[in-house]
Amino acid sequence: MAERVGIVAVAQTKFEPRKWKERFQEMVWEVVKDVREQTGLGHGPGQIDNAVTCSDDFFDCRTISDAPIGDLVGAHYGPEEKAASDGLQAVFYAAACVASGHSEITLVAGHCKESQSDRNMITHCAFDPIFSRQVGLDYLNAAALQARMYCECFGVKPEAVARAVVRDRKHGLLNPKAQVQKAVTIEQVLNSPLVCDPLREMDIYPSSDGAVALIVAKESRAKKLCKQPVWILGAGNCYDAHYLGDRKLWQSASLKFAAKRAYNMAGIKHAKKELDLLELSAGYSYEELLFLEALGICNPGKAGNYIMSGATDLGGELPVNTSGGKLCGNPLIISGLARAAECVIQLRGEAGRRQVAGAKVALAHGATGPAGQHHSVMILSNK
């Protein structure tokens, strides 16, 4: 049987609205240097022997956006491949490289500087130029259409949606790497300016710059590289239809499928009982509810009540987004990577004031595409 695959080091920059003092290469170097120092590893045979990166051509304004960071990740005369979707997919590819025997130790590095460009224009370009771009769709628009459909379908109250923002902001205060460090009330969320009705300013993740890196190793190496490797027990991913009009936007069929694959691989039968914490890539408030339902934690339309009850707060039954989540700010494409990093920090018991006591199993989630089109789910454990 193949050896297990573990994460042995993680590092993330502070997420900021505009890192004007750094080029994206400097952001990447900060986190790569960090994970190398944590493990004492360099690059080459017997050390970090492979790299998987994650970045976006449009945000970086060049084709093959991984090319300019090759030297920073050991890909100068070395192997490297890029995940052009959410960063959690990069972890998945890295784990596959190690599990297959292609690599013993793989570096994962993701970066994105949203401040380099205009997020709405970039996400606009994710749509079909002939059919959908002509009518101005971008991720914000798609999310607003989905938010209305989901909330109307189940009669979800705006207060319940706002409560998810309140929770993430509260958790973000405890995470020094979180971009937004400001608590809000339900009333403040509901009175923030309308941007794209029904979504308001505080329902939407802020524009953000940052980088995340981690190192994945096969079991025999992992145990020697750190005191507490975090094992990848299962992973799954799934795409929904390309055209928004094909999708039943009040649910997330693709996340449900991705979760099922990950749960099966990890041997999870009752997610709500067996998971100790979840990190969700929700860029818009209502997604915090919708995604919990697709993951099987709540029945359709019921996540709002669950969140309102405080169950997903730190100290509650099943804490969600102890990092502050994407709503406290981290760039579009590396959200899943930031989620995985937080799970590792929690499972190593290094989360300080936001530590989930006795956490053993965590779920990291990544999403790409308009209205959560593609989903990645990963189950991580310290056992």
Query: Least Å distance between CB 216 and another protein?
Result: 26
Of 45-53, 146-154, 265-273, 283-291, the window that binds another protein (rule: CB under 8 A) is 146-154
The one among 87, 110, 198, 304 contacting another protein by CB under 8 A: 198
Measured CA to CA, the distance from residue 320 to residue 184 in angstroms comes to: 17
- Beta partners for 29? none
Compute CA distances 249 → 93, 159, 246, 272, 331, whole Å: 28, 21, 9, 24, 23
Q: Which is nearer to another protein, 124 or 374 (CB)?
A: 124
Of 139-147, 162-170, 258-266, 284-292, the window that binds another protein (rule: CB under 8 A) is 139-147
The one among 5, 69, 145, 156 contacting another protein by CB under 8 A: 145
Measured CA to CA, the distance from residue 353 to residue 357 in angstroms comes to: 10
The one among 21, 227, 270, 273 contacting another protein by CB under 8 A: 21
Query: Least Å distance between CB 41 and another protein?
Result: 21
Peptide bond into 198 cis (omega under 30): yes
Measured CA to CA, the distance from residue 335 to residue 326 in angstroms comes to: 6
Measured CA to CA, the distance from residue 357 to residue 334 in angstroms comes to: 27
Query: Least Å distance between CB 19 and another protein?
Result: 11
The one among 1, 20, 100, 227 contacting another protein by CB under 8 A: 20
Query: Least Å distance between CB 134 and another protein?
Result: 4
Site string for another protein, 58-87 (x = CB under 8 A): ---x--------------------------
Query: Least Å distance between CB 162 and another protein?
Result: 18
Query: Least Å distance between CB 242 and another protein?
Result: 8
Please work out the total of residues on this chain that contact another protein, with binding judged by CB under 8 A: 45
- Nearest by Cα to 88 from 378, 380, 379: 378
DSSP letter assigned to residue 311: T
The one among 4, 124, 339, 348 contacting another protein by CB under 8 A: 124
- Beta partners for 376? 237, 366
Q: Which is nearer to another protein, 285 or 321 (CB)?
A: 285
The one among 197, 227, 270, 273 contacting another protein by CB under 8 A: 197
Of 176-184, 220-228, 240-248, 334-342, the window that binds another protein (rule: CB under 8 A) is 240-248
- Nearest by Cα to 83 from 117, 103, 61, 57: 57
Please, what is the Cα angle at 158 between 155 and 164, to 5 degrees? 110
Mark 293-332 as b/e (b = at least 16 C-beta within 10 Å): bbbbbbeebbbbbbbbeebbbbeeebbbbbbbbbbbbbbb
Measured CA to CA, the distance from residue 57 to residue 162 in angstroms comes to: 33
Q: Which residues bind another protein (CB under 8 A)?
A: 20-22, 26, 30, 61, 118, 120-121, 124-125, 128-138, 140-141, 144-149, 152, 193-199, 241-246, 249
